[in-house]
Amino acid sequence: MPELPEVEVSRQGISPYMMNEVIEQIVVRDSRLRWPIPDTIQTLKGQRIENIRRRAKYLLIDTQIGSAILHLGMSGSLRVIPIGTPAQKHDHVDIHLSNGQMLRLNDPRRFGCLLFSEEPLFHDLLAKLGPEPLTEEFTGQWLYERSRGKTSAVKTFVMDNRNVVGVGNIYANESLFRSGISPTREAGKVSKARYIELASMIKQVLAAAIEQGGTTLKDFAQVDGTPGYFAQTLFVYGRGGKPCFKCDRELKEIRLGQRSTVYCTQCQR
């Protein structure tokens, strides 16, 4: 599933081709995504794109009258290509632009979404989200205060979008390893000092992933089709049973919150 860095890389990739262009046509070949694409998406025809933002894993294509809310789901991808390029299997939506290019959404599993909202930040999907991890609002103090009395595992806690957005499975594994915190430790029993370290590592890991183009596993590639390279620097994710890069002990792999969790029992406490 594309996580925050992959979505941010997609935003950076499509923005130069779409900013200040007019949406001339929206072609919906298959509206059966996670939620049916509403007819109101056609309201954006004739509107100039004023901004392309990211909120958590959602892309917001802003116009004067409202925004398209776009989510890539588990396998979605975006391409900016010339209008008239023949559609391939799973190419569900084309957004035609005044510069002769179009934004194409491909989504084999159809778990993504394309919705319209006049006030996207107040939409039900976005209204209750926590802070962005790469902003000043996200701090170790924030995590510490939010975690008091919580008995859930700290990995589950930081993957909860109400506490901080966009820390998906890959980046939670990596951040906890680099912080020396066991993913199974109760969130309410992690000290303030360790949350300060964890918040710092989350910022570093996500920033590095964005800089390197995201993490290519099965489905994700950048807008131009090239893969991301952060997977080459992973310390624990996908390395269960292999030696820890720090202490050489075999990394343990468990299921936590129905997600694969890999950690070092020696280096993480």
Residues of the chain with CATH 1.10.8.50: 140-263
Look up 54 and say whether it is catalytic.
no
Region 67-71: mean pLDDT is: 98
Q: Pick the catalytic residue from 2, 5, 120, 133.
A: 2
Residues of the chain with CATH 3.20.190.10: 4-122
Q: List, as residue ranges, the binding site.
A: 90, 109, 150
Residues 6+ positions from 226 with CB-CB distance below 8 Å: 213
Q: How far apart are CA 262 and CA 191, in angstroms?
A: 22
Q: Give tens-digit pLDDT for 107-138.
A: 999 999 999 999 999 999 999 999 999 999 99
Q: Pick the catalytic residue from 34, 53, 246, 259.
A: 259
> Which residues pair with residue 261 across a beta bridge?
254
Classify domain 4-122 at the CATH superfamily level: MutM-like, N-terminal (3.20.190.10)
Q: How far is CA 201 from the centre of its chain?
A: 17
The owner of tokens 């929206």 is 26
Q: Pick the catalytic residue from 57, 104, 146, 178.
A: 57
pLDDT of residue 94: 98
Q: List, as residue ranges, the binding site for DNA.
A: 90, 109, 150
**Tokens read off for 263:** 């950690």
- Report yes or no: 66 and 117 within 8 Å, Cβ to Cβ: yes
Region 222-234: mean pLDDT is: 54
Look up 36 and say whether it is catalytic.
no
Look up 137 and say whether it is catalytic.
no
Q: How far apart are CA 78 and CA 76, in angstroms?
A: 7
Band the pLDDT of 2: cuts 50, 70, 90: confident
Is the pTM higher than 0.75? The answer reads yes
For the domain spanning 140-263, the CATH number is 1.10.8.50
3-state secondary structure of 48: strand
Q: Give tens-digit pLDDT for 18-59.
A: 999 999 999 999 999 999 999 999 999 999 999 999 999 999
- Flag whether pLDDT at 226 surpasses 90: no
Look up 57 and say whether it is catalytic.
yes
DSSP label at 183?
Answer: T
